[in-house]
Amino acid sequence: MDLESIWQQAKAPKPNVARPIVMIGSGGIVHDAHLPAYAKAGFPVAALVDMNRERAEALAKKFHVPLGTSSIEEAIRFAPKDVVFDVAVPAKAISDILPQLPDGSAVLIQKPMGETLDEAIEILRICRSKGLTAAVNFQLRWAPNMLSARALTNSGVLGELHDMEVNISVHMPWELWSFLSTAPRLEILYHSIHYIDLVRSWFGNPRSVYAKTVRSPRTPDLAATKSVIILDYGDDKRAFIASNHSHDFDPEMQRSFVQWEGMTGAMKAQMGVNLNYPAGLPDNLDYIVRDGCSWQEAPVSGNWFPDAFMGSMGSVQAYVQGEANTLPTSVEDAIDTMRTVEAAYLSSDRGGVELPPIAI
């Protein structure tokens, strides 16, 4: 097993020459992840748009962006013709923003792809009708430890994978996102959607979904913030997501990991951003193979936030420039993640099987 050659494959896609970016939205995720990632990757940002012009101008000044404006039209006039649009607005606003972009544009859309499957279908319809090359920012696929896990999987040293588990037990300060206070759907749509998409990237679409999402008595005014989701891949694979965002006790006992098991090896990746959020802890990846005597730590350079955002934007840019053959999180693929999310909510609403009666 040539580990060095395996780790060399753990790279996010990146264009040879980056196209300029028009950033639409200037919320916390843009400040904390998008713009720092693009600065690190050397992706130029030509303009930043927000409904609040003063906020757009202030953020543009901080990150040395030439234009901050409240007008998408002004940003389009100002920027070069070959820009990539990065739409990071609330899910409800996506279908209003996309029609304003030039036909044939390249676009990266912040997840979720709408708040419901119907909204996702409308977004897909708009992208098709305008000929947009569009992807959804399911950036967890591009986190450095996930790239290492993918490279290890592709090398074959783990054998056939038959088990994938996502386990989250943390305290999430939902109050940081004011729009979530009235959201009818919360945990699965805005958080576990990442893990649903990640499982799909390994195993494809599930046959069916079993799920239950529930409110926490610690946050009674919010929609459900705890979930268990089982993705059915038949009788020889197990895949599930267990998330609890109300575990506000000793940080030493908090958990945030993905674990895979294969016939000849296993991996476990820590997603540190969920631990002590928003400060976070480092990401890592541990692995074991049958011919090894103990768990080893894989080399991981960077964290989900902000480094994965270089991969999601890089994948769009490399694809539109003909330097990559696939666009992994295209809207055509992302619609299946939204279908899986919808199936989880439907399963939760319909409930489980009642205990069968017995006659004695």
Q: Angle 252-143-31 (CA atoms, 0-180°, nearest 5)? A: 85
CB 343 within 8 A of CB 208: yes
Task: Check residue 177 and give its pLDDT.
Answer: 87
Mean pLDDT on 25-50: 97
**Bridge partners of residue 258, in order along the sequence:** 166, 269
Ranking 25-29, 68-72, 251-255, 298-302 by mean pLDDT, the lowest is: 251-255
**Which pLDDT belongs to residue 1?**
66
Query: pLDDT tens-digit profile of 174-225?
Result: 998 888 899 999 999 999 999 999 999 999 999 999 999 999 999 999 999 9
How far is the C-alpha of 211 from the C-alpha of 257, rounded, in Å?
19
Burial 83-97 (b: 16+ CB within 10 A, else e): bbbbbbbebeebeeb
For 211, list phi and psi in degrees, rounded to 5. -155, 155
Average pLDDT of span 31-59: 97
Amino acid identity at 267: M
Q: How many Cβ atoms from other residues are within 10 Å of residue 207's Cβ?
A: 9
What are the domain boundaries of the chain?
12-140+310-325, 141-309
Task: Classify residue 81 by its DSSP letter.
Answer: T
Task: State pLDDT tens for residues 253-299.
Answer: 899 999 999 999 999 999 999 998 888 999 999 999 986 679 999 99
Q: Of the candidates 148, 139, 144, 149, which has an alpha carbon nearest to the alpha carbon of residue 261?
A: 149
For the chain, what is the mean pLDDT? 96
Number of residues written out for the chain: 360
pLDDT of residue 233: 98
Calculate the CA 32 to chain-centre distance: 15
Give pLDDT tens digits for 113-152.
999 999 999 999 999 999 999 999 999 999 999 999 999 9
Give the per-residue pLDDT at 254: 94
pLDDT for position 22? 98
Which pTM does this prediction carry?
A: 0.96
> Options 3.40.50.620, 3.30.360.10, 3.30.1330.40, 3.40.640.10; which CATH number does 141-309 get?
3.30.360.10
Q: Which CATH number fits domain 12-140+310-325: 3.40.50.300, 3.90.190.10, 3.40.50.720, 3.40.190.10?
A: 3.40.50.720
